[in-house]
Amino acid sequence: MLTRPEYNDLTIGIVALQGSFAKHAYSMGRLGIKSRAIRTAADLKLIDALILPGGESTTMTLLLENENLWEPLADALEILPVFGTCAGAILLGNQLEDDRVRCFNKINYTAERNAYGRQVESFSTALVVPYLLDQDFHAIFIRAPKFRDIGDDVQTLAVYGSTPVLMRQGQVLAAAFHPELTEDSGIHKYFVDHIVLKSR
């Protein structure tokens, strides 16, 4: 894949406390885009966008608080584009009733955790992503959330059955599945081309 010249000076920060952060870095690397692991507030400097990876939302909340990263990250999200997958998408939504999970309220929906079942009920499916990708996307769902109370300001980009699984609101992109676990960087490329670069 040829690297776009616009990618040369981009750095995407990937929150790297728990979850599939290394796979997101690999997805960006396939596009020729630099990434930076975010583990401290200082790591948030000199990045152009953020990725909140999949993992376990209660554990991610605890780690972000224990590492004194919650408030700096919330401040960064006021400015930077962000892509959240699975647990990351949960944290980007509106506050849950479960007070073990703290949310950033950056995209107008509320998540239902583990809505498709537990780990043993994980599955993959060919997902049609109209207008974004030229071919179906092999989507992997692992303890995936569903999203309810979706606001009118949220754009649905893909559905599984009739359930929205890829959504955008302004500079925020959220996926219920794990695009980083495939060899297809198409959704990461959409995030960079249509959200990150257009926000500069």
CATH number at residue 191: 3.40.50.880
Q: What is the per-residue pLDDT across 52-69, written as a single tens digit (0 to 9) for each? A: 998 899 999 999 999 999
Which one of the listed residues 24, 56, 103, 180 is annotated catalytic? 180
Does residue 180 have an active-site annotation?
yes
3-state percent helix, strand, coil for the chain, nearest multiple of 5 = 30, 25, 45
Percentage of residues in the chain having pLDDT higher than 70: 96
d(CA 16, CA 124): 25
Does residue 86 have an active-site annotation?
yes
Does residue 178 have an active-site annotation?
yes
Whether residue 111 contacts residue 145, with contact meaning beta carbons closer than 8 Å, is answered with yes
Which one of the listed residues 24, 56, 103, 178 is annotated catalytic? 178
Pick 116 or 1 by higher pLDDT: 116
Its pTM stands at 0.95
Full domain range(s) for residue 77: 5-199
As to burial, measured by CB atoms within 10 angstroms (0-12 exposed, 13-18 middle, 19+ buried), residue 22 is middle
Q: How many domains does the structure of the chain reveal?
A: 1
- Checking if the pLDDT of 158 tops 70, the result is yes
What pLDDT, on a 0 to 100 scale, did the predictor assign at position 99? Answer: 87
